[in-house]
Amino acid sequence: MRPAPLCRAALILQLAWSPAARANSFLSDSLLRKNPVHNVLDHQPARNVDCKNSIPTGPIETTLCDYETVESVNDRLFANLHDLVQMPFFKYFQVDLYRECPFWSDDGSCSDPGCAITSVDESEIPEKWRASALSRLEGSKIDDRHELPGCYYRDSDFCFLDDNTEGDYYDLSRIPERYTGYSGPDAARVWRSIYEENCFGVSELNLLSGPNPALVSLPDTMSEPFRLEGGGADGGQCLEKRVYYKVISGLHASISTHICAEYLNQSTGEWGPNLQCFINRVASHPERLQYIYFNTVLLLRAVARIGPYLQAFDYCSTGNHDDDTETLAKLSNVISIAQSAGRFDETVLFRGEDANILKEEFKVHFRNVTRIMDCVGCDKCRLWGKIQTTGVATALKILFELDEKALDPAANHNLLQRSEVVALINTLHRFSESLEAVEDFREMWKATSAAEGEKLIVEAERSAAVAASSRPRPSPAAGQEQDEKRLDFVLARWLRVCKESTVGCMGLVVAMWRRGMAALASLFTPSGKERGPSGFEL
């Protein structure tokens, strides 16, 4: 629902005439902010959204939603999601954690006890969700999938999915996402590879160095502000650049928030929030918190769009339908919230003459991100990495691949695999819980003296400087091995596409030619990617 005209006008005027309010907010559009940690931790989230808010926070860039809306609904959203992911349907997840890493031979396995997880015996899983039953169903309904050892993807997928012939079941309610001790060069290599799958070459530096195209008001559609920024096709491409980078960076920031929220105190052996960790990894880079909001809106839009399909899904596991009724009640609450806060206009992306080529490139790179999860050396990290990349990929498929006819549960009741539905809801829960955790860190910050706060900030600056100076350069041999495996992977895909479709083959040739020309041009125009995702760790 749009705000009333008077309310909207008041909001615009207040933002237009109060630049100081925005300058002192973590929502400032400049990369070089003054006192970024204070801006993040001193921010007071909105609880009741109306014209009486004294310091408006404004729109979430590249969405049709605002920060106040997300902040005002997140308590209810998190409460319903937290109950929902405890239900049998959403807490049991089957996954193969032991597929070979396709990009390098050494997976840097974590030996810390915090990395270990325990699977659930299949006898504890309702029969309809067991591997044998799922395999029988999928064999008859999936005839367009492209298979790799242990996994597959369909043309509409943004990720690789397990084929259910192997893998174990895990009770996610017993495996919290938290600090594991998995860090250092091995973890850094995983994230570096993920950011290298950024097919547009955009980074925090060049994403935020330009002006925010939607400073003072919520547009009726996302196309207008981005048309104003770049004009024509360039403006449209800018939107895809921003969306891709924000998806990756927001996922990283959310995972970092969870690690800091449940951190192991090595001295006492107790688990609890670590404010220094949060300042180092998120609060000192406010744009990362913005991306958590962005991903939350994107996931909410996907849930809202596929709401009728989700409500028609069979969640019954015990036979008495009590769990089915309770699951549907909680899910209906989540869908209702998603319909009010999930305002993202997916129709303005992937438009124009190169739309299909651009979307295919987007999909190929995000599929590779999901395969990089097989290279994570920590079992617990790999589990949650697979779940969340699958959840985000499912949201992207819902938004950019499925039309209204496909979303009709009566016409297409096998639209999503159970694993995709479970991953989507659990991933939304992860982001909602991240926003809840930020509130806990703000309470800790309030209880911190000025002197203690200054020490935390100084330590964050020191840590960032040390990380920047000690960041290892990849060895030529390791880089060559990884490049060769990526080349083999890409060539195999090219051969398959060219064998199946002359048009598709020509599309890939054109796309490669365009990328070659863009790479040549980039030799003379620094992209900012050389700065990388500074300060990010697993």
* 508-531 exposure pattern, b = at least 16 Cβ within 10 A, e = fewer: beebeeeeeeeeeeeeeeeebbee
Spatial distance between the Cα atoms of 403 and 522, rounded to a whole number of angstroms:
36
Residue 34, amino acid:
K
- Cα–Cα distance measured from residue 5 to residue 482, given in angstroms and rounded to the nearest whole number: 56
Beta bridge partners of 170: 93
Catalytic residue among 65, 110, 199, 378: 378
* CA 413 to each of CA 134, 143, 184, 339: distance values in angstroms, whole numbers, following the listed order: 15, 16, 45, 21
Name the residue among 264, 262, 258, 303 with its Cα closest to residue 282.
258
* Cα–Cα dist 523/489, whole Å: 26
Residues 72, 48: contact at Cβ < 8 Å?
yes
Annotated catalytic residue, options 260, 316, 381, 498: 381
- From the list 256, 254, 475, 490, the residue with the least C-alpha distance to 368 is 490
First CA to last CA distance, the chain: 38
User: Which tokens belong to 283?
Assistant: 């609060």
Answer yes or no: are the C-beta atoms of 110 and 182 closer than 8 Å: yes
Active site includes 381? Answer: yes
CA–CA separation, 108 and 181 (whole Å): 13
Question: At residue 52, what are phi and psi to the nearest 5 degrees?
Answer: -85, -5
Closest-CA residue to 95 (of 177, 194, 174, 172) = 172
Q: Torsion angle, CA of 530/31/369/478, rounded to 10 degrees?
A: 20
Neighbours of 465 (CB within 10 A): 10
Q: How many CB atoms lie within 10 A of CB 427?
A: 25
Contact between 377 and 103 under an 8 Å Cβ cutoff? The reply is no
Judge whether 200 and 240 are in contact, CB under 8 Å: yes
Residue whose structure tokens are 């017993």: 174
Token readout for 302 is 């996907």
DSSP string across 492-516: HHHHHHHHH-HHHHHHHHHHHHHHH
CB 332 within 8 A of CB 311: yes
**Is 342 within 8 Å of 65 (Cβ atoms)?**
yes
Q: Which positions are catalytic?
A: 378, 381
